[in-house]
Structure 1
Amino acid sequence: MKKIAILGALTVAGLAAGTAGAATLDDVKARGKLNCGVTTGLVGFAAPDANGEWEGFDVGVCRAVAAAVLGDANAVEFVPTTGKTRFTALASGEIDMLARNTTWTFSRDVDLKFEFVGINYYDGQGFIVPKALGVSSAKELDGATVCIQTGTTTELNLADFFRANNISYEPVPVETNAEGQQQYLAGACDSYTTDASGLAATRAAFENPQDHVVLPEIISKEPLGPLVRHGDNDWGDVVRWTLNALIAAEEYGVTSANIEELSNGTDNPEVNRLLGTEGNLGEMLGLDGEWAARAIGAGGNYGELFEKNIGENTPIGLSRGLNAQWTDGGLLYSPPFR
């Protein structure tokens, strides 16, 4: 009897957890809008254009999720968050997901009770300095003042790097990337440190970018990706597999240009399952069969989003590097759609 009672309690707990997990998906559908947390402004990743329309690499993930769930890539409320406010906004339910330059770490996953659903950019922390400073290595920054965003992994990495190299620094705390850029250009700090991708985006916005150099050291691993609240399993699945759909689409040659044609059926069973012409993957997510096709069609596959917003032909000028597909020597890899 005791064993049956325990099993019964576990079943009830499981049902309760399942109900809680479905809450965000239900809320987004009922609201008709996705509340997506983004950075306060980092050109190429997430920033409003001249007309106030948000655009960028991370913005593309938000729009893909909105397209998958709501059928409308524009049904998104973008909520700007800082390093300090982003986690509170997610934990409180102000936003449904966080899609900004946020590093997946043990404590954020386990202690702060968030679930990272994947990695959409493999990054590492670097340093930018004025060329006139005459510094060619971060190890030459002994005694330097360094602008650093508070509430970020970069604070801890910076302390670790300087301690490991037995050199000293004076931190100059800033709240946002815009403030960091302003303080750095005003000479309030000798160097600005953040993710290397962020440095590239920041430098591209300078009036004279050629007067500044990004130092060669990458002092950390910064796997960046979208996150949701713990216990929100159904919603986590939706965001995770939307990101995977963008990654898989690039691998299989599904683009915004050919997706309509491929949605009529192909000789590749994986593509057919991805686009909903075979199987019932959408139903398993609580969505319809065309959810992934809409996500991909919203702004293109992963490669299209990368090239349009931060690629080598943009002012940001980032190469694919580690963010190339696994078939091209990178780390990008989607689990199978089956």
Structure 2
Amino acid sequence: MKKQLKLLAAGATLSLSSWAAHAGVTFDAVKTKGFVQCGVSTGVAGFSIADGKGGFKGLDVDLCRALAVAIFNDVNKAKIQVVSALQRFTALQSGEVDVLPRNTTLTMARDTTLGLIGVGVNYYDSQGIMVNKSLGVKSARELGGATICVQPGTTTELNLADWFRAQNITFKPVVVDTMDEIVRAFVVGRCDAFTGDKSQLAGARSTLQNPQSYDILPENFSKEPLGPMVRQGDEQWFNLVRWTMFAMLEAEEYGITSKNVDEMLKSTNPNVQRLLGVTPGMGKNLGLDDKWAYNIIKTIGNYGESFERNVGQESALKLPRGLNASYKEGGLMYGWPVR
């Protein structure tokens, strides 16, 4: 019996050692080079767009910066790299970027065929169509024979074709590489309408000269759970990205903001104490300092703060929280417990 137990213990130790050696590849590389490289979209208002100061801003950019703060406690250690819809997966697979916070729909095919895996959802969306009000269209069902601009290599392109086929309506796709080019094509009349995630449509509309002249039609073509992706087989990095997201969600749930986080260090709530590192131990298994979540909240804010300034009521988009509200407010956002 003793011999069997020794063999089992040795096997468990070997298994854990193998996992630990394999798990830190990306994290070790990030620490060695001194920054985290994030792939973001070519320009989607609210998610990743040039800020006019030589940098970027948006919900996805905030996630990248939160990672940099968790690892280095330095927001400037986040390096933003623009990648197109066609380039994004190759950029992550090849190691050109460390994480893809780019507004990407998480699907089964992408989790099982690319060697990549979705970490979690940071924005629940759906696909729609935008038209000029002058077209006189109130429903996508009235777009028979219309030209519709769409990005290639996206679930958006597939969803558009599927929906129109199911409705037995014909349309003419106009394939355009980037969202910026799509918007320009739409404005000059190259297409009657264009399609994308409804958050993208709202963002694009906010940049146009007369936003009130455009309608986002009511139909939802799909479910679009958007979130970051990482390479498969690197569990430590997967966990670090996942728990960075969850820390921001947990902070909102417990009312911890960038403005009151220092005061919240005095909280007697055990959940708050663990999250903010007052109770030690929660950083060790991620390879981080115990103040990792405190630093994120102090520098970036909680999820709600990020949402409101980028896509919510403090932004030009003014999107409602909807499904992206906390579960306590009727939404789907639910951070796992940091314990």
Distance 2:44 2:188 in 1: 19
For residues 156 and 104 of structure 2, the distance between their equivalents in structure 1, rounded to whole angstroms, comes to: 11
What is the one-letter code of the residue matched to 2:333? L
Aligned to 1:63: 65
1:93 to 1:13, Cα distance in 2 relative to 1, 3 A: farther
SS at match of 2:76: coil
Instruction: Determine the structure 1 residue equivalent to 2:204.
Output: 202
> Following the alignment from structure 1 to structure 2, what is the Cα–Cα distance between the partners of residues 130 and 325?
34
Q: 1:11 to 1:171 in 2, by over 3 A?
A: farther
Render the CA deviation track for 1:129-165: whole Å, top value 9, x for unaligned.
Answer: 0101110001111111110011111011001100110
**Counterpart position of 1:291:** 292
Alignment: residue pair count: 335
Aligned residues of 1:17 and 1:231 also touching (Cα < 8 A):
no
SS at 2:174's partner residue? strand
Corresponding residue to 2:164 among 162, 165, 190: 162
Q: Which residue of 2 aligns with 1:266?
A: 267
Residue 312 of structure 1: how far off its partner (Å): 2.4
Q: 1:11 to 1:114 in 2, by over 3 A?
A: farther
Deviation at 1:313, TM superposition (A): 3.5
Over the matched positions of the two proteins, sequence identity in percent amounts to 49
SS state at 2:189 partner: coil
Cα deviations across residues 272-304 of structure 1 (Å, max 9, x unaligned)? 111111141100111110001111122210000
Partner of 1:318: 319
Indicate yes or no: 2:51 matched with 1:49: yes
* Counterpart selection for 1:257 from 242, 256, 259: 259
Gaps of 5+ in 2: 1-5
Q: CA RMSD in A?
A: 1.9
Residues 87-110 of structure 1 deviation map (CA, whole Å, 9 limit, x = unaligned): 000000010101111000001011
Match of 1:271, as an amino acid? V
Residue 181 of structure 2 is aligned to residue 174 of structure 1: no
Q: Tell me which of 242, 252, 272 is aligned to 2:244.
A: 242
Give the TM-score, by structure 2 length. Answer: 0.95
When normalised by structure 1's length, the TM-score is 0.95
Asked if the contact 1:148–1:173 (Cα under 8 Å) also holds between the matched residues in 2, the reply is yes
CA contact (8 A) 2:104 2:227 kept: yes
The aligned counterpart of 1:192 is: 194
CA distance in 2 between counterparts of 1:294 and 1:171 reads: 46
- Cα distance in 1, alignment partners of residues 32 and 264 from structure 2: 31
In 1: Cα distance, 2:224 partner to 2:201 partner: 13
Q: CA deviation at 1:15?
A: 4.1
**More deviation, 50-59/222-231:** 50-59
**Equivalent position of 2:76 in the other structure:** 74
